Amino acid sequence: MDFIVFPGQGSQKIGMGKELSKNFAEAREVFEEVNDALNLNLTKIMWEGSDSEISLTYNAQPSLMACGVAAFRVLSKIKTKNITQLANYTCGHSLGEYTAMTVAQVFSLKECAILLRLRGEAMQKAVPVGKGAMAALIGININQTKEIIEKAKIRGICDIGNDNADGQVVISGDAKAVENAIEIAKNYGAKRAILLPVSAPFHCRLMEPARVIMEEALNNLKFNAPLIPIISNITALPHTDPVILKNNLIDQVTGTVRWRETMEFAKNKGIKKITELGSGKVLTGIAKRMVKDIASESFENSEDFDAFL
């Protein structure tokens, strides 16, 4: 049994996908379709822009999705297998869940690109710059984190944004509350507690304005049943019902990304291999730390595919 996973924001970098586009027609077609869908030369930003440009949420989200879909299509071509033959489940971290739904044919590549551009804009506008923050707490477990944010909330909203792995939790909310939580975490023996260089506090209640926008957009879109089950960020469980998949994406805007539990699900299900497709190797690194008995691999460029062949 196999998992295919797709990265989230933070894995973006200038040049991502360029080499794959140059060497594989399947990848090139994905990037061209995303450019056309957005009526924007996104690949120029991806390949020739600045780090600050590509890190803008509304650029990063469709760019990362495009790289994930491109890598998937190349893998599918090389192995001459469709997604039902390549994996038993698919999922992605935050925006990566949209990528997973695209390759599982819940909605089209064009629809996904437009959704993620809208999602990025909505999330960016939801909170004034400087009002929100996110921080990584390293060496703190989920129960300790819950205690910390309970104490920190006297300064404002503070939620668990990402439960990434054992001892790796990201909190999100009002800047003053998050900064307070960082100080409290030190008393809990955190190895590190650091603010993250993000433009908005994702996956917390401050994202409610973005959730409302995405609810309207997603309700206006036809969801198909996926070709394979999607593991949801919000439940850490597999789903195939289009209505549930849609509601999970809506709830995901303000809810916690439960990646640690997703990896535990993989282990409990007897998954043999986790394949990360797209930019970077963040999820591969988490898998290697959390589920050492499961083989993990990542495909980002031609060298990765050559090594596989």
Active-site annotation, residues: 94, 203
SS (H, E, C) 54-116: HHCHHHHHHHHHHHHHHHHHHHHHHHCCCHHHHCCEEEECCCHHHHHHHHCCCCCHHHHHHHH
Distance, in Å, from the CA atom of 291 to the CA atom of 59, rounded to the nearest integer, reads: 32
- Helix 57-79 / helix 25-38 crossing angle, nearest 10 deg: 150
- In the block, which residue shows the tokens 């990848």? 27
Q: What are the residues facing 90 on neighbouring strands?
A: 4, 230
- Tokens matching residue 246: 């849609």
Q: How does 156-168 read in b/e, with b if 16+ C-beta sit within 10 Å?
A: bbbbbbbbbbebb
3-class secondary structure, 162: strand
- Tokens matching residue 109: 């590549």
Distance, in Å, from the CA atom of 105 to the CA atom of 83, rounded to the nearest integer, reads: 10
CA dist 285 → 193, 243, 275 (Å): 20, 32, 11
Distance, in Å, from the CA atom of 54 to the CA atom of 61, rounded to the nearest integer, reads: 9
Contact between 238 and 140 (Cβ < 8 Å): no
